[in-house]
Structure 1
């Protein structure tokens, strides 16, 4: 089984550290990428870390993961609550999927309480800040072992 992990980030995460730091913290996406790369190396995983603001690009990346990546960690951000197309793409992917949210979506606005992606995810991590990414990588490494 492939030890390659696609770590995919959705819209507005390029603004991490600048946008609503009282909700999302002060770490940047580059900080997250560095921490995830270090941990992935320690866990014997190969990491492909990406971010986009475009729904179709996330879908294309999930399609690319088919037959290539052993697992997917995804923070779909706002698309969690709106994108059946993203759910459909994940359902066509056969490996494990871990969904990550930096904030606790269940303590926020009502519309954020539902995630289409969660219907497909093998695990959901929410409210652990950017540490959620590291927890997701640890879980994925366990599933791929």
Structure 2
């Protein structure tokens, strides 16, 4: 079906996304978003104000509608034109290989971190010893005070 089979009134009743789908079927090639919207706006007879009002809604609808596929650089095509193997998911699989190489490099960097952790643990052990000595001194002082108080109580 093409837009020529619809009357002007029928075209105005169609949704923008359905008009875009019909245009893409007629053109049979991927098109820039702006070009698609321009053709949809012409078909619906939008004024400049209406174009500004509806462009964001059209972009949202284009992203949500499962019949359309972004093929890069703001180009859009119909999903059934492209084999399943050529989807964007394959691009992510290709990127995983370099990530594995980077992971090997990170392991080499982790070894010095392990040494730093040992040094930090040694520092903490020294601090713990100093803290424990202070705690012991505080406890001794408290006991001496208690003993002194006990001596005062006996005098009464």
Measured against the shorter chain, the TM-score band is: under 0.3
TM-score using structure 2 length: 0.22
TM-score using structure 1 length: 0.23
Higher helix share: 2
Higher strand share: 1
User: Which has the greater radius of gyration?
Assistant: 2
* Greater relative contact order (Cα < 8 A, sep 6+): 1
